[in-house]
Amino acid sequence: MMNQEVKRMPLLGDDFPQMTVQTTHGIKNLPGDYKGKWFVLFSHPADFTPVCTTEFVAFQERYEEFRALNTELIGLSVDQVFAHIKWEEWIKENMDIEIQFPIIADTGKVADELGLVHPGKGTNTVRAVFIVDAEGKIRIIFYYPQELGRNMDEILRAVKGMQTSDEQGVAIPANWPNNNRFGDRVIVPPATDVETAKQRMVDAKAGKHECYDWWLCHKELKK
């Protein structure tokens, strides 16, 4: 008897799986239609549920901030497109918020591909978040239980942090850009050889950055 191939959830650094999906904005090809842009794909358990409604409102309220970072939003749940459209109408009529980003109407195939259905939670998708860069690489994955609504400011911060890391070749400290000790300063990646470690301290004396030690140096963010 042949063993069935076991699908695994995509990992950080993987290419986002290629797929064609039905959305409230028509058929889209992922990640191809977003080439050159970052995108945040987030799943929610179901339409017309209270926590999910608060999340969609919160995402929409920050949509322009995401777009300013060359980043698009894409929602997803195992609901028909008709339910998505009706839910959008309800949000507009009752909360005065128009959802402007697409929502994937999944039959279960996309959720299966991305590992979004928890075995103990029936067929509803969990609150997962995939942050995908402009080359279609998965850079961050958040995975929340159904009971806990997400913090959109943290997702926005994560996109900013990864883009800053890529652009400036630095690492990002805890709670950046509001770290209690470093503020919005960034971390110089630690040295991996003796000569670089020595040079770090020389550069610190020259004012290129500040160091607690050769392995913990920080500097101003390039504006």
Q: How far apart are CA 179 and CA 70, in angstroms?
A: 25
Whether residue 217 lies in the annotated active site: no
Catalytic residue among 40, 52, 156, 217: 52
β-pair partners for 221: none
Cα angle for residues 102, 132, 15 (degrees, 5° grid): 115
Q: How far apart are CA 222 and CA 136, in angstroms?
A: 26
Q: Is residue 144 packed enough to be buried (19+ CB in 10 Å), middle (13-18) or exposed (0-12)? A: middle
For residue 177, give the amino acid letter.
P
Q: How many residues does the chain have?
A: 223
- Catalytic residues, by residue number, are 52
